[in-house]
Every structure is written in structure tokens, then in C-alpha cells.
Chain A
Amino acid sequence: MLTKDQLLLPLAAHRRDEVVVTSMGVTRPWGRISDHDLDFASADSSMGHTADLALGIALAQPSRRVICLNGDGSMLMNLGTLVTIAESGARNFVLFVLENGTYEITGNQPIPGAGRVDFPGLARAAGFPRVYSFNRDVGYEATLPEILTVEGPVFVGVGLQRGSEGPISRSSQEESRYLQTSLAHCAEQFRKAMIGS
């Protein structure tokens, strides 16, 4: 299993002008190491809709790569989105599913099928042309340049150690800029960064 640092630090190092959409347990950790105008936190939002939201950004901006950091519990809530992503043929879309086996920010309750569900297998069955899987640190960083450039849709399953992030708020109490204002304000700012108006 990777730690969040082992997952996120190499990604931040290799990231250039890609959009990064975060959710749940990696929202704060990503915000601690990245302060990019094209970071968007799908937080204080809907259960299970990070992947479809991120796909929408990718389809609206086909020339820009979009990386979605989704949780395994969130993915289970909308498994059909794997089919929609594959069907869309979004070549600029990279979906990470971070498998820690729990609903971390609501108290680490186990998700259904924890440890048994084969997410990379589900992605292949849904029609993803590129599927990667990492359960250890080995090979992950070396493969990142390929993941960030290969024609998608790309699926990346990552076995992740359990964490202890609590519920996410949107307030000045939060450390990360992308969590300090309302979802509506962040959405307006993100949209301006995307299209310049």
C-alpha cells in the first residue's frame, strides 16, 4: 500500500498545467502540497460525483489534461460512470481510484466489498483502453510521465494506506486556499482560470 505522500508528492512534482480534481481523503493532503489555480476540490459537494464532474471538465476542455483523484467509496456510488467515461473517449482524462477500503472522512467505516472489489478489472470491463494498478510504491513514480501523456481515458488504481482525515469544511479554518471559500466562489474562480472570463 502507498501512503498519501507516496502517491501525491510525485504527482505534484510531475504536474504542469493539468487540471487536478480532488475528493474526500486526499483533498486536504493535496491542498498542502499544491496551490494551483487549476486545482478544484469536489468537497462540500455531492456523494460520488467527483468522477462525472471531472469528466465534464475534460470534455469541455479537450486540449487540457484532467486528473481526477477519486476515492473507492465514491467510485462505488457511481460505478456507471466508468462506462460513461470509457464511452466518451476522453483522451485527456485520467481517473485515479484510491483504494483505502473505507469512507475515510466520515469515520473510516468499511466500504462494501473492501479488499475484494477489483477496480482495475471493473475499468477494463467498462472499456478503459489504458489501466494501471499500483499496490506498492514500486514503479509508480517511474510510470507517472507515461500516465500523464498517454492517450486516454486512463484508469489508475492505487492501493492506499488508511488515513485519518476528518470531515471537510469550506471556511477560513481550512489550510488550503481551495477550501477557504464557498463552492460557488471556487467554481467561479476555477472557471475564470479555465476560460479567462
Chain B
Amino acid sequence: MASLTSPPDGPSPDAYRLAALLQSLGITHLVTVPDNTSAPILGALKHFPVSASGAGEGEDAVRLLYATREGEGIGLASGLWLGGAHPAVLIQNTGLLEAGDALRGTASRMGAPILLLVTCRGYPKARDLGIDPAELEVDRDVLVRSDLDSVAHMTEPTLRAWGIPYVFLREPGDLSPVRDAFLQAMEEKRPVAVLLDASFT
């Protein structure tokens, strides 16, 4: 297992610790469509024994796999699990919405214990306005407001509708939600999401 201390001139300590946690949980592959929030996490993984191409160099390497769209990433992760691996998925909440039928028809339908790490576009914008995204009813007024990012308000209702449990990670220094979600996924044999409402830069 890697050190939990970020190397000098390396990635941010929080991103490094999250990458180290994924490795310690036994995650074998991280399937992703990257965004600004996930970039530091992916960068941190490159400080572990893994190559940028995804070809792991060590026994316990977390291999990176880039998908062309999020639903494809879910199908890919489900296949990895079928093949005996332990994948996680790192995508943005907009991409989560794109991945609906893939989640329904593969990971959820198969009972695959896949950890979904979901970055939270739109949440900071709502927070700046003093709004909790979960408390606004999603109606036409919310969907057309230019000062809000509608995806923030659709993320949690969508996860509930799809039957996917979720937790928030709001303090990058406290990674316990990731560990808890992983354990829940394994115990309940289903995908579980962690909403990464935090910056890892």
C-alpha cells in the first residue's frame, strides 16, 4: 500500500489521500470521463505504480481507463466486475444523467458492487446563492433559471429514482464517505454513489 503522504511537489494532499484510499480498498480499475474536479484525483493516481495509458505497473496498481461517454464507462466497469476485477467509476453528475440506461441495465440489474464517484457541477453555484440544491423542487422555473445549473437540482432526485444509494463527500480531508460507500456496495451488491461536493486541488 502506498504512503498516505503526498510526495514533495506532487499532487494535492487531499487528492493523493483519495487515490491512496482507492488503492487500499482494492480498486483495480478506475473508469472515467474526466472533468476539472476529477483531474487532480486522476493526476494523483499517476504518482502510484500505474502508467498514464492504464497499463498498471504494480500488483496493486489502480489502472485508469478512459471512456468516450459515461454510459459506456458503466458498461465497461460492469464487465470488469464480471471478469473478477473491482472497478470504480469517476464521472461528473451531468455524465451520470447520460448513463441512466447503462446503470439500469448493467450494474444495477446485475447487482454489481461498483463505487460511483460523482463530481458535482452546479453545487457551488447554488451554494453561492444560498440555495441547497436538494431543497428546490425541479420544475420549469428551476430548469430555465440562468443563475442556476439545472444538473445540481436533478442529481439527487435522479439517484433516488434509479434506486442508487448515495452519500456526500463535502470535506476533502474526511474520506470516510468513500470507504463507507464502498463497504455498502460490497455488502448490498449494488452500485453506490459518492457525490464529491468538494475541491481536490
Q: Which residues of A contact B (CB under 8 A)?
A: 40, 44-47, 49-50, 52-61, 78, 80-81, 83-84, 87-88, 183-184, 187-188, 190-191, 194-195
A81/B68 in contact, CB under 8 A? yes
Secondary structure type dominating chain A contacts: helix
B78/A56 in contact, CB under 8 A? yes
B76/A84 in contact, CB under 8 A? yes
B112/A55 in contact, CB under 8 A? no
| Choice from B72, B80, B109, B112 contacting A84 with Cβ under 8 Å | B72
Q: Which residues of B contact A44 (CB under 8 A)?
A: 105, 109
Convert B86-123 into 0s and 1s, putting 1 for each residue whose CB lies closer than 8 angstroms to a CB of A. Answer: 01000000000000011011100111100000000000
| Choice from A52, A88, A191 contacting B75 with Cβ under 8 Å | A52
A53/B71 in contact, CB under 8 A? no
B69/A56 in contact, CB under 8 A? no
CB contact under 8 A between A187 and B111, given known A45-B105, A49-B72, A59-B29: yes
A84/B68 in contact, CB under 8 A? yes
A184/B109 in contact, CB under 8 A? yes
B83/A52 in contact, CB under 8 A? no
- A89 to nearest B CB, angstroms? 8
Closest to A47 in B: B101
B82/A56 in contact, CB under 8 A? yes
- Interface residues in B44-69 by Cβ distance below 8 A to A read 54, 65-69
